[in-house]
């Protein structure tokens, strides 16, 4: 008999984890970006790679885009391409951190013209959402200051709210704005959206279609992330997750690699708070595979989330509640730890095998390592424009907007 009950399997069958298009491109740190043979040259090939992850796991039916990294001439065509491959286009991520005009801020800048430029970028992202059928506009802001006295902290919060109001007003009836927070980097003295409380305060002032995005790697060491998950679910403002793992800062490593127990605890609170398979709470990865293969890395990532979800579903809630109410500390902790230490991997593999999903953690046959790089002239053009390595330009207008390479950070 399987340790996974029919109810547990039914919950796991509904689970969906969105993949980030940028996870399939070359990425790295400020020291070096290492190239990988077969790296996608454009958004179409990124989506084709993402579709491979879904084919092997049945867990990743949608792909998030990053604008302008994923600019194309026709989003109707890109949407059809994705659907032909069995996936959909998901969250649209804005980018206001790779333009010289935003050195001292974008939505918070002192200069109204620069703020309007940043607002217009987000309105253009909503235009993309209209074409792709996406629901969520995710905003992460690399804005802040490095020295005391450098910036008017209160004024920046006021300008941020004013800018967000203009973006929010453009959303369609079925669209949402999700505001991501990060406690530091690239700013070091203060960050304009450093924590869940600031994000919550900003989105609460906007309305019901504005939510908080929680990136698991965007907290100070030792932060009780599951408490934040609980609180945002309790307040009805947890809109999405960016799952990844960290040892020191925003490492963007494979989710669960550094602290599987933390991932288990987070998912327990998701289940406890009604967030599992809740359409209002989106699960997404935000990772950079700097040294490991990208498709297998994404496969391992979604399966790690599935595995820890399964373990969290094994928590005996009745026994846990009874121990908590009676003040039996060790019994309550034992209930928790028993579920965490249960090895669900064989049962999950057997379940996936029965459902005709491959039970392995990565493809047995690796993707052909044939070169799919752009011609030298195109690659040089991309490097001059600062695009991710191998990115193919769709149009002159897109070339004018293209930012720099993805590095571990946002």
Type and span of the H or E element at 56: helix 43-57
- Residue 373: the pLDDT is 34
Answer with the residue of higher pLDDT: 373 or 74.
74
Mean pLDDT in residue range 99-109: 98
- Where does the pLDDT of residue 27 fall: very low under 50, low under 70, confident under 90, or very high at 90 and above? confident
Q: What is the mean pLDDT of the chain?
A: 89
Per-residue pLDDT of 194-224, as tens digits, reads 999 999 999 999 999 999 999 999 999 999 9
* pLDDT given at position 284: 98
Average pLDDT over residues 12-23: 97
- Distance, in Å, from the CA atom of 181 to the CA atom of 193, rounded to the nearest integer, reads 5
Instruction: Please tell me the chain's helix, strand, coil percentages from 3-state DSSP, rounded to the nearest 5.
Output: 45, 10, 45
Is 355's pLDDT higher than 90?
no
Residue 134: strand, helix, or coil: coil
Query: Computed over its alpha carbons, how large is the radius of gyration of the chain?
Result: 21
pLDDT at 363 over 60: no
Residue 103's pLDDT band, with cuts at 50, 70 and 90, is very high
Average pLDDT over residues 361-374: 41
pLDDT at 357: 54
Q: 68: part of which helix (H) or strand (E)?
A: none
| Contact present, 210 and 199 (Cβ < 8 Å) | no
Q: In this predicted structure, what is the pLDDT of residue 215?
A: 98
Residue 224's Cβ-count burial label (10 Å; 0-12, 13-18, 19+) is exposed
% of the chain exceeding 90 in pLDDT? 82
Residues constituting the chain: 410
* 364 confidence band (pLDDT: 50, 70, 90): very low
Please tell me the distance from the alpha carbon of residue 247 to that of residue 245, in angstroms, as a whole number: 7
Q: Which of 125-129, 167-171, 386-390 shows the lowest mean pLDDT across its residues?
A: 386-390
Are 18 and 132 a contacting pair, CB within 8 Å?
no
| Rounded average pLDDT over 150-174 | 98
Over range 345-369, report the average pLDDT.
66
pLDDT given for residue 356 in this prediction: 59
Q: What strand order describes the sheet that includes 62-66?
A: 19-20, 62-66, 88-93, 136-140, 176-180, 210-215, 238-243, 282-285
Q: How far apart are CA 128 and CA 185, in angstroms?
A: 28
Q: Which residues, 6 or more positions from 109, have their beta carbon under 8 angstroms from its beta carbon?
A: 101, 102, 115, 118, 159
The neighbouring-strand residues paired with 338 are: none
Rounded to an integer, what distance in angstroms lies between the CA atom of residue 348 and that of residue 306? 9
pLDDT-derived band of residue 354, with 50, 70 and 90 as boundaries?
confident
Mean local confidence (pLDDT), 361-388? 36
């Amino acid at each position: 008999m399987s340790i996974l009950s029919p109810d547990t399997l039914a919950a796991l069958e509904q689970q969906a984890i969105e993949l980030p298009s940028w996870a399939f491109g070359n990425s790295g740190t400020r020291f070096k970006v290492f190239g990988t043979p077969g790296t996608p040259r454009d958004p179409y090939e990124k989506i084709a790679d993402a579709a491979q992850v879904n084919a092997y796991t049945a867990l990743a039916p949608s792909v998030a885009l990053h604008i302008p990294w994923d600019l194309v001439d026709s989003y109707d065509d890109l949407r059809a391409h994705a659907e032909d491959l069995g996936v959909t286009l998901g969250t649209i991520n804005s980018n206001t951190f790779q333009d010289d005009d935003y050195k001292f801020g974008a939505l918070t800048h002192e200069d109204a013209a620069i703020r309007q430029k940043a607002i217009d970028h987000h309105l253009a992202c909503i235009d993309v959402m209209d074409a792709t059928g996406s629901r969520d506009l995710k905003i992460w802001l690399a804005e802040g200051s490095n020295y005391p006295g450098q910036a008017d902290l209160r004024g920046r919060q006021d300008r941020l709210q004013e800018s967000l109001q203009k973006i929010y007003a453009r959303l369609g009836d079925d669209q949402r704005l999700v505001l991501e927070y990060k406690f530091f980097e690239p700013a070091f003295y203060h960050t304009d959206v450093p924590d869940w409380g600031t994000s919550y305060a900003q989105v609460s002032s906007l309305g019901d279609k504005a939510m908080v995005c929680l990136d698991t790697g965007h907290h100070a060491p030792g932060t009780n992330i599951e408490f934040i998950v609980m609180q945002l679910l309790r307040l009805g403002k947890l809109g999405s997750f960016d799952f990844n793992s960290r040892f020191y800062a925003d490492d963007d490593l494979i989710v669960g690699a550094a602290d599987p127990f933390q991932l288990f605890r987070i998912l327990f609170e998701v289940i406890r708070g009604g967030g599992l398979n809740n359409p209002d709470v989106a699960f997404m990865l935000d990772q950079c595979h700097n040294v490991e293969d990208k498709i297998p890395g994404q496969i391992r990532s979604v399966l790690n989330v599935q595995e820890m979800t399964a373990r969290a579903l094994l928590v005996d809630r009745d026994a846990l509640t009874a121990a908590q109410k009676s003040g039996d500390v060790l019994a309550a902790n034992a209930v928790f730890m028993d579920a965490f230490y249960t090895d669900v991997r064989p049962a999950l593999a057997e379940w996936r095998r029965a459902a005709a999903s491959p039970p392995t953690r990565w493809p047995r046959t690796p993707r052909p390592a044939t070169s799919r790089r752009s011609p030298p002239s195109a690659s040089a053009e991309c490097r001059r424009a600062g695009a991710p390595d191998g990115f193919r330009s769709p149009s002159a207008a897109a070339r004018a907007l293209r930012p720099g390479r993805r590095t571990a950070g946002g």
